[in-house]
Chain A
Amino acid sequence: MEDFAALLDALVYTRSRNAKLKLLADYLARTPDPDRGWALAALTDGLDFPAVKSSTIRNLLTERIDPVLWTLSRDYVGDSAETASLLWPEPEAPPSPPSVAEAVDALSHMTRANVMVDLPHLLDRLDAEGRYALLKMATGAMRIGISSRLAKTAFAQAFGVSVEDVEEHWHGQEPPYAALFAWAAEGAEPPSSEGLPLFRPFMLAHSLEETVVDMADYVAEWKWDGIRVQVVRATGSDGVGETRVYSRSGDDISATFPEIAESLAIDAVLDGELLVRGSHQGGEEGGAASFNALQQRLGRKTVSKKLRAEAPAFVRLYDALIIEGEDLREQPWSERRGRLEAFVERLDPDRFDISKVIEAESLEDLATIRERARDDAIEGVMLKRRDSPYIAGRRVGYWYKWKRDPLLIDCVLMYAQRGSGKRSSFYSDYTFGCWDGDPDAGAELLPVGKAYFGFTDEELKFLDRHVRTHTVNRFGPVRETDKSLVFEVAFDSVHASKRHKSGVAMRFPRISRIRTDKPAHEADRLDTLKGLIRD
């Protein structure tokens, strides 16, 4: 555990990606099984200990320290696990740290009934760094900038294997990944994925930005505003097939969208956009409701019949990775597209259709078509090189996304809250509002949204200082400002909402510019924002 705790701290303090890779690769190469496997799972959020929650930590500490002092400390540090690791009374006996495997074993045997007794025993065996590592591992919220991509790259680097092979073999393996380490470190056969409905890494797109592409080499498709999914069906050695729906991050969301999982009966791996039936995106012909409509179906572990009927889901297919056991990923896009067009004919049209290719002679043509996209409430367009293979991750030159320009509105800063993690001492979460009428005739500001990104580090410092020096009221961690600062907020779309007092909900709001030049009463009115609704 000390070695893992030291690794964790070194990763926290290391900024360079290469240095992080080296730290992690060295750790994986020198640490024996199963510790390294458990550590890897912990770093990539692959561990779950249902008995230990953030609230468990709070309860454990408030049994030992005054709750007000706990809250003040937590608010300052910005992280429950770290706060607890610092507040935990130093044990009398010298530390006798458990191994990572021992800690994992103990944590996995904890229940809600005994966690309040057993977790303290573990904490008493560790120093402050060890307690931090243990609590981070237990609550599964590392947030130290180790993406699963980085972990896989480090794994590949540690054992001299390719990242693509690691990605392919990783999925479906359970911690502590004994077979994966045996393959990479000792040259054993790779773990078999045949017959399992496993996730394959997505191919991703770059933003078009300044790039100019020749439409002779590229095709365009609409960028539908749903969630990107992979639908995988595989038949096991027992002849029983299983279909799973995976999100962008590889999470299994089959239970949330059972109608999709029930509708694919042919072995395949398909890439597409999950949408809800409607006429919002692209009109009747587009056949898809707004993202808002999809949102009510997200994040549910189970889904009622009523909701299934009200908001039926379907997948608009973009690509095919594997069809009936044949891996198409090395094939050019045009070949895969042909296979997909033929394949979609064999699927339930209520649940699967194909994303149409947009006819555009030139990039200028496409720009004109894209301009209309806002009226059609579509996010933008995708450009795909006709000869592009399907490659995991984001490769330059193959796929581009070309979002329509964002909408802009001038809002007034109303409330601010301190951020989490590396922003824990900065007021970095902003609630902003628009005028509910004419401000000179006594209209009020109504909150219309929240933003916590879009600004530079310098702007963040400015905003933090502004909040601290313009506070008029405090509500716990929230400060109310004197409502003197205007910012231009960029956002993708705005929807009618009954849940918000203002009656609107913005999508992807971010701070676009700070308008110190603009007095607050000249900020936009709510009616202006409502006028941009296309629901």
Chain B
Amino acid sequence: MGQDFSWIRAEPWGIHVGPADCWIDPARPVENALVTHGHADHARGGHARTLATPETLAIMKLRYATEDGAQSVQYGETIRLAGGVDATWLPAGHVLGSAQILLEHAGERIVVTGDYKRRPDPTCAPFAVTPCDVLVTEATFGLPVFRHPPVEHEIAKLLQALADNPDRCVLVGAYALGKAQRLIAELRAAGHRDTIYLHGAMEKMCRLYEEHGVDLGDLALVSEVKKLELVGKIVVSPPSALNDRWSRRLPDPITAMASGWMRVRQRARQRMVELPLVISDHADWDELTQTITDVDPQETWITHGREDAMLRWCQLHQRKARALALVGYEDEDD
């Protein structure tokens, strides 16, 4: 059997599925796009036809204000594409609606993970281990120094800082799609019932999560309350607003940030973070390597992140692997 997987190719701006003339998470407008999840670096607008989960399509509609060409696919549903390629969307555990895409053609199975994590997340469906011949995996945190601590530990740290500083507020920088809602849901799970205040840019995405059945408790906008009402409260903003003029309206905020990068002290310092919270929606080193072991593919292709270390690990474990040079994926905000 001549298994060369030549029907799927990595180009700098996306993964091309030849027989179907489809692109996975393309970085520029194409005819046919298969989208793994709603983060802007994966889900760009302007494609003629977009296949994604209903949640991802809802997120894209919120972002790009158009549903043109959208075709929704449920988890586990298989779509027959042109050229005899079957595509199945499977949960990736990254954010609401995030999926891995299983592609089957000529007896070969290829799984493109998109971004994923293995840990439980109250805001999205858990990652499904899917046997395949080629695993195309992300590697955002593909260095052995990245071992995310249990999320409960980091949430406890946040609540402790809040309790220790009754005259201040804690401002948490968190990515507006996914991280923010997960953080809020985890705070609720830890018994924090107080109103959580949002930067304006967070509101619509939180409402979207609620519409999809994720309970985020009592939320309010910072802009709707007086400064003093925020004393002793948790405020969530996009990372870019942390040290922006916007944060001056807050009462002596403790600057926190929820991101896997916070594991490295200097990364936290560069962002002027006082309270680093190591909470990530990506797989850490142990999850990445465990996933390769669990899926046990013939070949592992590594898309974006610290591919050098992942390649080395594969080499040490006698696994065939190569790095794909894709452009346009951002890692800065996790």
Residue of A nearest to B309 (CB): A72
B143 CB contact (under 8 Å) in A12, A13, A72: A72
Q: Which residues of B lie under 8 Å from residue A76 when comparing CB positions?
A: 143, 145, 264, 306
Residue of B nearest to A10 (CB): B274
Are A69 and B266 interface neighbours, CB within 8 A? no
Are B143 and A78 interface neighbours, CB within 8 A? no
Q: Which residues of A lie under 8 Å from residue B316 when comparing CB positions?
A: 66
Q: Determine the distance from Cα of A379 to Cα of B144 in the docked complex, in whole angstroms.
A: 49
Given the interface contacts A72-B306, A77-B264, does A66 sit within 8 Å of B275 by beta carbon? no
Residue of A nearest to B264 (CB): A77
CB distance from B188 to the nearest CB of A (A): 27
Q: Which residues of B lie under 8 Å from residue A72 when comparing CB positions?
A: 143, 306, 308-309, 312
Q: From A81-89, A166-174, A327-335, A351-359, give the one contacting chain B.
A: A81-89
Q: Is A113 an interface residue (CB 8 A)?
A: no
Given the interface contacts A76-B145, A86-B147, A87-B145, does A69 sit within 8 Å of B313 by beta carbon? yes
**Which A residues between 11 and 70 are near B, CB-CB below 8 angstroms?**
12-15, 65-66, 68-69
Q: Is B97 an interface residue (CB 8 A)?
A: no
Are A87 and B144 interface neighbours, CB within 8 A? yes
Q: Is A394 an interface residue (CB 8 A)?
A: no
Q: Determine the distance from Cα of A12 to Cα of B143 in the docked complex, in whole angstroms.
A: 23
Given the interface contacts A66-B316, A83-B145, does A73 sit within 8 Å of B309 by beta carbon? yes
Are A13 and B145 interface neighbours, CB within 8 A? no
Are A13 and B275 interface neighbours, CB within 8 A? yes
Q: Which residues of A lie under 8 Å from residue B308 when comparing CB positions?
A: 72
Q: Determine the distance from Cα of A343 to Cα of B265 in the docked complex, in whole angstroms.
A: 53
Q: Determine the distance from Cα of A246 to Cα of B316 in the docked complex, in whole angstroms.
A: 52
How would residues 268 to 308 of chain B score, 1 for a CB under 8 Å from any chain A CB and 0 otherwise? 11101111100000000000000000000000000000101
Are B143 and A73 interface neighbours, CB within 8 A? yes
Q: Is B263 an interface residue (CB 8 A)?
A: yes
CB distance from B228 to the nearest CB of A (A): 23
CB distance from A95 to the nearest CB of B (A): 13
Q: Is B267 an interface residue (CB 8 A)?
A: yes
Are B145 and A78 interface neighbours, CB within 8 A? no
Q: Which residues of B lie under 8 Å from residue A15 when comparing CB positions?
A: 272
Q: Determine the distance from Cα of A13 to Cα of B256 in the docked complex, in whole angstroms.
A: 10
Are B274 and A14 interface neighbours, CB within 8 A? yes
Q: Determine the distance from Cα of A483 to Cα of B121 in the docked complex, in whole angstroms.
A: 48
Residue of B nearest to A8 (CB): B265
How would residues 407 to 443 of chain A score, 1 for a CB under 8 Å from any chain B CB and 0 otherwise? 0000000000000011111000000000000000000
Are A425 and B266 interface neighbours, CB within 8 A? yes
Q: Which residues of A lie under 8 Å from residue B264 when comparing CB positions?
A: 76-77, 82, 86, 424
- A69-B312, A76-B306, A422-B270 known; 11 other A-B pairs, CB under 8 Å? A9-B265, A12-B265, A12-B269, A13-B268, A13-B273, A65-B144, A68-B309, A82-B265, A83-B145, A422-B266, A424-B266
25 sampled A-B residue pairs with Cβ under 8 A = A12-B269, A13-B265, A13-B268, A13-B274, A15-B272, A66-B313, A68-B312, A69-B309, A73-B145, A73-B309, A76-B143, A78-B266, A79-B265, A79-B266, A86-B144, A86-B146, A86-B263, A86-B264, A87-B144, A422-B269, A424-B264, A424-B266, A425-B266, A425-B267, A425-B270
Q: Which residue numbers of B lie inside 8 Å of A, CB to CB?
A: 143-147, 263-270, 272-276, 306, 308-309, 312-313, 316
